[in-house]
Chains A and B, each alone.
Chain A
Amino acid sequence: MGERFVKLMQGNEACVDAAIAAGMKFYAGYPITPSTEIAELSAEKLPRIGGRFIQMEDEIAGISAIIGASIAGTKSMTATSGPGFSLKQEGIGYAVITETPCVIVNVQRGGPSTGLPTAPAQGDIMQARWGTHGDHSIIALYPWSVREIYDATIRAFNLSEKYRTPVILLMDEVIGHMRERIELPTDEELTIINRKKPSCPPEEYKPYKVNEGDIVPEMAGFGEGYRFHVTGLTHGESGFPSSNGEVAENLIRRLVGKIEDNKDDIVEVHEYLLDDADMAVIAFGSTARSAKSAVDILRTEGYKIGMFRPITIWPLAEKQLEELSIKLKKVIVVEMNVGQYYLEVDRVAGKNTKVEKFGKVNGELITPEEIVSYIKEGNHA
């Protein structure tokens, strides 16, 4: 049994410690509030464990460098906020089509553009899903506490390695800067997943061939004796460019399918007091903390209300939302935007139940009292 380690920790700090526990050995980024502590702590900690940090000349260079490092066999991460997340989209698409594991943290602030530095917001929910061009699927996680940031960061690395895909770790200014006393997991309690290396000799290696029973192709690293080609162009098993329609169709469907067909493994949700509920608040990140308090207040007043909190934002928790919609009279999607996740909830749950939205975009947190007031009076604060 490893020793228990209790610490007062900031959200952004928990992210870095967890990334290192997950095996991160490379970080490249560009300073932007409210994510900067992630870069600062990576700069301090990585060389101490034989890892490397670099502050790049811009956000695009940051994500490009981590993709390069990952293809060279090193677990890598970058972190940013709204304006930088817009710039990262080029690299995210490249990591999707080249199936390069990497983690992109977006500590959300108010937008669009430079927007509201650096007040909290949840306006990048749809950008996380559709920010890069072209058909694709994506994994995005959104924790709500410092301890959960630790777990979600490790999970983000694990999912990126398992599914060979970029994983977006969404946070917001509140949970990124919040400090909580957390008990860290022991090494024995951690599960760390590493990409599967080629099982064949170099002359037989096809970098994009999925072996029977596997979800993704085996991944060699540069300098490991397997000379292979990586391109952002559509490619077949050999990895070389192809403009053949069938090759393109197969590739895109495989890339989307490897995520959408494995939702049971990827999707994680938190349900609170839903067993006897006839109404639910749906919320994530810092807003879910207020939502939970609102549920507690309303419960004391006799409301049969619960909370549904997706920890995996993408792919969508479609099955869970559908099940929820059948037994509830109403769901209220509470988010710090004008209604983004709401669109998906309404699409899935709207045919069975009433779906409402409650949001704010003034850079202030949504309080429990505001949620309570909305639910009691339909009061759009």
Chain B
Amino acid sequence: MPSNLVNEYFRTENLPHIWCPGCGNGIVTRAIVKAVDNLGLNREDTCVVSGIGCSSRASGYLDFNTIHTTHGRALAFATGIKLAKPDLNVIVITGDGDSSAIGGNHLIHAARRNIDITTIVFNNNTYGMTGGQYSPTTPTGDKGTTAPYGNIDMAFDLCKLAEAAGATYVSRGTIYTTNMLIKLVENGIKNKGFSFVEAMTICPTYYGRKNKKGEAVDMMTYLKDYAINVAAYDKLTDEQREGKFIIGELYKSERPEYTEEYQKIINSFAEEV
């Protein structure tokens, strides 16, 4: 029996999805839908915008106003949609390469404007759709088809990037800690401003195989063992922190939201008349 969430929010005629066995994208997509369900958002008033890559195919499976845009540009399209119809709930689905390489500039500027868009990055540390090339979040030393001798780039900490750029809600979850991930997406959507949720997911087919990370279950176990909640992380010694990464709500602040500020300009002229 498919869950009610599938019947309610998925375009079941477009399933099965294109994702490989063991891929974590389905778990992230379910978390988004569950968050939307928990918040009781109206599907007619909700828009899902995606870029290009494995994760960005999710928009086609979801029964909202959906748009699968060009590579890296989801946030630029979403900005136009949000400005045209500020009352729409706008959720952006993107990947690590889509959001931080080809779309990096759009990410930092959307964050800077604090426009009310919730961005969920499916971070699988690789370009999966094209067969496993190294991405801006591939750890240094790991391999990709374009890093056959090991990646010499430093990996982006996307959450720090989003925070520095001006996002007013920044969090990171994993596909192992799904209840937390749902809550993070919920809180991201609730935040009136630019919200950034990094969902650590897995690509056993390319990244996992290339780097001998084992099967999907092994990669899930890694997420379980190495993701440390922000409160617990603070208490760890430097030695204990080695190789670990932080999950949870990493940054929150309040700042004027972009479309509301623009509305004030419009209203100033309406008052003149």
A-side interface residues toward B, CB under 8 Å? 25-26, 28, 47-48, 50, 52, 54, 56-58, 60-62, 64-74, 76, 90-91, 94, 221-223, 225, 227-233, 240-241
> Known pairs A60-B73, A72-B85. 15 more at Cβ < 8 A?
A47-B269, A52-B262, A65-B79, A65-B80, A69-B81, A72-B81, A76-B80, A90-B70, A222-B67, A223-B87, A228-B65, A229-B68, A230-B66, A232-B69, A233-B68
Would you call B84 an interface residue if the criterion is a C-beta within 8 Å of the partner chain's C-beta atoms? yes
A-B contacts, 27 listed (Cβ < 8 Å): A26-B84, A28-B79, A57-B76, A57-B105, A61-B105, A64-B77, A64-B80, A67-B77, A68-B78, A68-B81, A68-B84, A71-B67, A72-B85, A73-B85, A90-B70, A91-B70, A94-B69, A222-B65, A222-B88, A227-B66, A229-B59, A229-B60, A230-B67, A231-B60, A231-B68, A240-B11, A240-B14
Would you call B54 an interface residue if the criterion is a C-beta within 8 Å of the partner chain's C-beta atoms? no
Q: How far is the CA of A94 from the CA of B47 in the complex (A)?
A: 19
- Structural contact, A26 and B44, CB atoms closer than 8 A: no
Contacts of A232 in B (CB 8 A): 68-70
- Within the complex, the shortest CB–CB distance from B268 to chain A, in Å, comes to 8
Contacts of B8 in A (CB 8 A): none
- Within the complex, the shortest CB–CB distance from A221 to chain B, in Å, comes to 8
- Structural contact, B60 and A241, CB atoms closer than 8 A: yes
Q: How far is the CA of A222 from the CA of B81 in the complex (A)?
A: 8
Would you call B45 an interface residue if the criterion is a C-beta within 8 Å of the partner chain's C-beta atoms? yes
**10 interchain residue pairs of minimum CB distance:** A68-B80, A65-B80, A64-B76, A68-B77, A69-B84, A72-B84, A61-B76, A69-B80, A222-B65, A57-B109
- Structural contact, B80 and A28, CB atoms closer than 8 A: yes
Would you call B232 an interface residue if the criterion is a C-beta within 8 Å of the partner chain's C-beta atoms? no
Contacts of A52 in B (CB 8 A): 83-84, 262, 266
Contacts of B105 in A (CB 8 A): 57-58, 61
- On chain B, the number of residues with a Cβ less than 8 Å from chain A's Cβ atoms is 38
Q: How far is the CA of A230 from the CA of B262 in the complex (A)?
A: 27
- Structural contact, A68 and B60, CB atoms closer than 8 A: no
- From A57, A94, A227, B65 is in contact (CB under 8 Å) with A227
- Structural contact, B76 and A60, CB atoms closer than 8 A: yes
B-side interface residues toward A, CB under 8 Å? 11, 14, 43-45, 47, 49, 59-60, 63-70, 73, 76-81, 83-85, 87-88, 105-106, 108-109, 262, 265-266, 269-270
- Within the complex, the shortest CB–CB distance from A90 to chain B, in Å, comes to 6
- Structural contact, B80 and A222, CB atoms closer than 8 A: no
- From A68, A228, A229, A241, B79 is in contact (CB under 8 Å) with A68
Given A57-B105, A229-B59: A223 and B80 interface contact (C-beta under 8 Å): no
- Structural contact, B109 and A61, CB atoms closer than 8 A: yes
Q: Which of B44, B59, B85 has the most CB of A within 10 A?
A: B85
- Within the complex, the shortest CB–CB distance from A343 to chain B, in Å, comes to 30
Q: How far is the CA of A74 from the CA of B81 in the complex (A)?
A: 9
The chain A residue with its CB closest to the CB of B64 is A227
Q: How far is the CA of A2 from the CA of B49 in the complex (A)?
A: 43
Q: How far is the CA of A232 from the CA of B59 in the complex (A)?
A: 12
- Structural contact, A26 and B80, CB atoms closer than 8 A: yes
The chain A residue with its CB closest to the CB of B62 is A229
Given A61-B73, A61-B105, A222-B85: A231 and B67 interface contact (C-beta under 8 Å): yes
Given A222-B47, A223-B45: A65 and B83 interface contact (C-beta under 8 Å): yes
- Structural contact, A47 and B265, CB atoms closer than 8 A: yes
Contacts of B77 in A (CB 8 A): 64-65, 67-68
Contacts of A73 in B (CB 8 A): 84-85
Contacts of B108 in A (CB 8 A): 57
Q: Which of A67, A74, A228 has the most CB of B within 10 A?
A: A67
- Structural contact, A54 and B65, CB atoms closer than 8 A: no
- Within the complex, the shortest CB–CB distance from A171 to chain B, in Å, comes to 23
Contacts of A230 in B (CB 8 A): 66-68
- Within the complex, the shortest CB–CB distance from B203 to chain A, in Å, comes to 21
Q: How far is the CA of A64 from the CA of B50 in the complex (A)?
A: 12
Given A68-B77, A223-B44: A74 and B60 interface contact (C-beta under 8 Å): no
Given A64-B77, A228-B65: A74 and B266 interface contact (C-beta under 8 Å): no
Contacts of B80 in A (CB 8 A): 26, 28, 64-70, 72, 76
- Within the complex, the shortest CB–CB distance from B69 to chain A, in Å, comes to 7
- From B11, B66, B76, A56 is in contact (CB under 8 Å) with B76
- Structural contact, A68 and B65, CB atoms closer than 8 A: no
Q: How far is the CA of A20 from the CA of B85 in the complex (A)?
A: 18
Given A229-B60, A231-B67: A64 and B47 interface contact (C-beta under 8 Å): no
Q: How far is the CA of A239 from the CA of B124 in the complex (A)?
A: 28
- Structural contact, B83 and A69, CB atoms closer than 8 A: yes
- Structural contact, B44 and A227, CB atoms closer than 8 A: yes
- Structural contact, B85 and A65, CB atoms closer than 8 A: no
- Within the complex, the shortest CB–CB distance from A337 to chain B, in Å, comes to 29
The chain A residue with its CB closest to the CB of B44 is A225
The chain A residue with its CB closest to the CB of B56 is A231
- Structural contact, A50 and B73, CB atoms closer than 8 A: no
Q: Which of A25, A52, A64, A241 has the most CB of B within 10 A?
A: A64
Q: Which of A25, A47, A61 has the most CB of B within 10 A?
A: A61
- Structural contact, A94 and B70, CB atoms closer than 8 A: yes
- Structural contact, B83 and A26, CB atoms closer than 8 A: yes
Contacts of A228 in B (CB 8 A): 65-66
- Structural contact, A229 and B106, CB atoms closer than 8 A: no
The chain A residue with its CB closest to the CB of B87 is A223
Q: How far is the CA of A47 from the CA of B265 in the complex (A)?
A: 7
Q: How far is the CA of A222 from the CA of B47 in the complex (A)?
A: 7
Q: How far is the CA of A222 from the CA of B82 in the complex (A)?
A: 10
The chain A residue with its CB closest to the CB of B109 is A57
The chain B residue with its CB closest to the CB of A94 is B70
Q: How far is the CA of A66 from the CA of B109 in the complex (A)?
A: 16
The chain A residue with its CB closest to the CB of B77 is A68
Contacts of B67 in A (CB 8 A): 68, 71, 222, 229-231
Contacts of A233 in B (CB 8 A): 68
